[in-house]
Structure 1
Amino acid sequence: MKRNQLIVLIIPLSMLMANCSSAKKGKDYVEAKKISYTADVKPIITNSCTPCHMPPQGRKEPFENYEQVKEHIAAIIARVKLPQDDRKFMPPVNKKPALTNEQVAILVQWQQQNMPQ
């Protein structure tokens, strides 16, 4: 009798554990990856922020190297997360496409990982 009770408890518990672990795998992929400025952040900045933030054409805060991007990462993240109709949204809709959710997640993760070069 006790064996049947144990089986009744184990089956739902094992199903619950399997579902929880598989749900995390997809969600945590970007979070688990080590993000670096050179490999991950710089291509996003170069593709989305030029020429406005790249001297000599740029008339805004320069984002042409690691130190400059690191200094302004909080503002960069805040601006790319704004609604597209907000006048402070970056990059300007008429100049470049908005960053994807994955690109924004990379910037956020890089900041959370203390911005390794």
Structure 2
Amino acid sequence: MKKIQLLTILTVIAMLTVNCSTKKGKSDYVEAKKISYNNDIKPIIANSCTPCHLPPQGRKEPLENYEHVKENIDAIIARVKLPQDDRRFMPPVNKKPALTTDEIALLEKWQQQNTPE
């Protein structure tokens, strides 16, 4: 009798472990959020890069549209991740607050998703 109970328990455990395999990964269950320029990135650029990078007042590298931001995303990410005392850090400390960790992560995720518009 004990052998049958033990065999039944082991069978149930084996079935559960087969169905709960970690090989499937989270992406099988939850689709990653799709980041878009218009909904997610443009507001960050508008808030943190104006007026220096947005014409007509901007005299620096223009970041006024999707194409400009897409072309410069590597430089943007690199500069917002610099230490704030680095002279190349963006946005300049005396002009705008630094991007938050979440905003930087959003830029990086957008880049990883091949910069969808």
- Identity between Structure 1 and Structure 2 (%): 72
Q: Which runs of 4+ in 1 moved over 6 A?
A: none
Where structure 2 has 5 or more consecutive residues not aligned to the other structure, the ranges are none
Superposition TM-score, scaled by structure 2 size: 0.75
Q: Is 1:93 matched up with 2:93?
A: yes
CA distance in 2, matches of 1:65, 1:109: 19
Where structure 1 has 5 or more consecutive residues not aligned to the other structure, the ranges are none
CA distance in 1, matches of 2:46, 2:32: 24
Q: Is 1:52 matched up with 2:52?
A: yes
Instruction: Tell me the alpha carbon deviations over residues 36-68 of structure 1, each in whole angstroms, 9 at most, x when there is no partner.
Output: 000000000000000000111111001111111
Q: Is 1:108 matched up with 2:108?
A: yes
Letter in structure 2 aligned against 1:60: K
Between Structure 1 and Structure 2, how many residues are aligned? 102
CA distance in 2, matches of 1:115, 1:89: 22
Aligned to 1:35: 35
Superposition TM-score, scaled by structure 1 size: 0.75
Structure whose alpha-carbon radius of gyration is higher: 2
Q: Which has the higher helix share?
A: 1
RMSD: 2.5
3-state secondary structure, aligned to 1:114? coil
